[in-house]
Amino acid sequence: MTSAHPHRSVLYVPAANEKALAKIPDLPADAIILDLEDAVAPDQKAAARNSLVRFFEKRPNKRLIIRINAMSTPWGVDDLAAARACKPDAILLPKVDSPRDILETDDALDEGDAPKRIRLWAMIETPKAMMNIGAIAGLGRDRAARLACLVAGTNDLAKDTGIRMTPDRRYLMPALSQMVMAARAGNLTVLDGVSNNFRDLDAFAVECREASNMGFDGKTLIHPAQIDPANSAFAPSDEDVAQAQAIVDAFAADPTQGVIQINGRMIERLHLAQAEALLAARID
Ligand SMILES: CC(C)(COP(=O)(O)OP(=O)(O)OC[C@H]1O[C@@H](n2cnc3c(N)ncnc32)[C@H](O)[C@@H]1OP(=O)(O)O)[C@@H](O)C(=O)NCCC(=O)NCCSC(=O)C[C@H](O)C(=O)O
Ligand SMILES: [Mg+2]
C-alpha cells in the first residue's frame, strides 16, 4: 500500500440521499465517496450538489472524496467548482479514458486557489482506460501531479465491453489484475469495484478476500453492511502478523544473514521488508 491511510473500506454515499449523508459520522468506513455521478438521477444533480455543499459546511472528521460527473457532461464544470470549494481529501473522476482527462482536471484545479492537497482519484471503467492504464498510472510517479488512487468500475466496464459479471468474476479478473499492476508501477493506491449484491455478505466476504489476495488495498462499497467484512478481509490475519513478527525477530537475532530458513521456508531480506511493511500497516 502506498498511502499512509488505510483504504480497506471505501463507501459510496449518494449525495442526493440526506438520510444516508446523516449516517456518515458514525460509519466505520476508512473513507467515504460522496457521489454526484451514477447514484444521482439527472433531474437531481443540482439539488445533490447543493446538499453536498451544505454537508461540507459541517464536515465530519472523515476522509471524504467527491465523485463528480465527467467534464464532458452538462454537470461536470459545476461539480468541479463545487468540489474544489468543499476541499475534500480527493476528487474522483469517472469515465477516465486517458492521462489527458486527469491532467486537464489538475490544470482546472490549479486555476483556482485549491491547494495541491486535494488529490485526484481515477475510475478505471472504460475500455480506453484499460488500453491506457500504464500511462494513466504513470502520472502517480510525477510528484507534481495529484493522482493518488485508481478505482475499479466493474459495472461500467462490463457494460462497455460485454464482459459478463459472473459471481466468481472470472472474466473480469484479467482487467482487475492489470489495474493492480499499473497501480503498483505508479505508486498508487488501488481499490476493487463494488459488489452489487449487498444482501449476500458471505459471498461478499469471499470477494473481499480474493481482492486482498490479488493485491488490492481495499474495496469500494455500496451499503453500510459491507463495511465490517471489508475491514476484516483487508486487515492482516493473526497468522500473517505472527509470521511477519517471526521474520523480523529472526533477522534481528542474526543481522548479518542475507538468507535464512524458518520452518523449512527460505526467507530473504526482501521478505523482511515485506514483514516490516505489514507490521507497520496494522490497525489495532
Ligand atoms: C443500494 C441501496 C439503494 C439500498 O438502499 P436501501 O434500500 O435503503 O437499503 P437498506 O434498507 O438496507 O438500508 C439500511 C439503512 O442504511 C442506509 N444506507 C443504505 N445505503 C447507504 C449508503 N451507501 N450510505 C449510507 N447509508 C446507507 C439506508 O438509508 C437505511 O437507513 P435507515 O432507513 O435509517 O435504516 C443503497 O445502499 C445505496 O444507494 N447505495 C449506494 C449506491 C451508490 O452510491 N451507487 C453508485 C456507486 S457504485 C458505482 O457506480 C460503481 C462504478 O462506477 C461502476 O461502474 O461499477
Ligand atoms: Mg461507473
**What ipTM was reported for this prediction?**
0.98
* Tens-place pLDDT, residues 18-35: 999 999 999 999 999 999
For residue 97, report the distance from its CA to the centre of ligand 2, in Å.
12
* R_g of the chain, CA atoms, integer Å: 20
Q: Looking at per-residue confidence, does 144 or 14 come out higher?
A: 14
Q: How is the chain split among helix, strand and coil, in percent rounded to 5?
A: 50, 15, 35
pLDDT of 114 over the 70 cut = no
Identify whether residues 16 and 134 lie together within a single domain. Answer: yes
How many domains are contained in the chain?
2
pLDDT of 242 over the 50 cut = yes
Mean pLDDT, the chain, rounded, equals: 95
pTM of the model: 0.95
For residue 29, report the distance from its CA to the centre of ligand 1, in Å.
14
What is the per-residue pLDDT for 143?
A: 76
Kindly list the distances between the CA atom of residue 124 and the CA atoms of 135, 234, 241, 281, in Å, as whole numbers in the listed order: 12, 21, 32, 26
pLDDT of 1 over the 60 cut = no
What is the per-residue pLDDT for 144?
A: 77
* Tens-place pLDDT, residues 36-47: 999 999 999 999
| 141 within domain boundaries | yes
What is the per-residue pLDDT for 25?
A: 97
What is the per-residue pLDDT for 2?
A: 55
What is the per-residue pLDDT for 113?
A: 60
Neighbours of ion ligand 2 (CB under 5 A): 125, 153, 156
Residue 249 belongs to domain spanning: 238-280
How would residue 145 be classed by pLDDT, with cut points 50, 70 and 90?
confident
CA–CA dist 12, 67 (Å, integer): 9
- Return the ligand 1 atom nearest residue 11 CA: 23
For residue 222, report the distance from its CA to the centre of ligand 1, in Å.
5
Identify whether residues 127 and 255 lie together within a single domain. Answer: no
Identify whether residues 159 and 253 lie together within a single domain. Answer: no
What is the per-residue pLDDT for 262?
A: 94
| 2 within domain boundaries | no
* Tens-place pLDDT, residues 260-277: 999 999 999 999 999 999
CA–CA dist 142, 135 (Å, integer): 11
- pLDDT cut 90: percent of the chain above it: 90
Which residues are CB-neighbours of 251 under 8 A, at least 6 positions away?
257, 260, 269, 272
Ligand nearest to the CA of 157: 1
Count how many Cα atoms sit within 13 Å of the Cα of residue 111 in the half-sphere of its side chain. Answer: 8
Q: Which of 146, 150, 109 is nearest to 7 (CA)?
A: 150
Ligand nearest to the CA of 13: 1
pLDDT of 195 over the 70 cut = yes
| 4 within domain boundaries | no
For residue 70, report the distance from its CA to the centre of ligand 2, in Å.
11
Identify whether residues 47 and 156 lie together within a single domain. Answer: yes
What is the per-residue pLDDT for 4?
A: 76
Pocket of ligand 1 (CB under 6 A): 11-14, 19-20, 23, 35, 38-39, 123, 125, 153-156, 193-194, 222-224
| 26 within domain boundaries | yes
Q: State the CATH number of the domain containing residue 56.
A: 3.20.20.60
| 187 within domain boundaries | yes
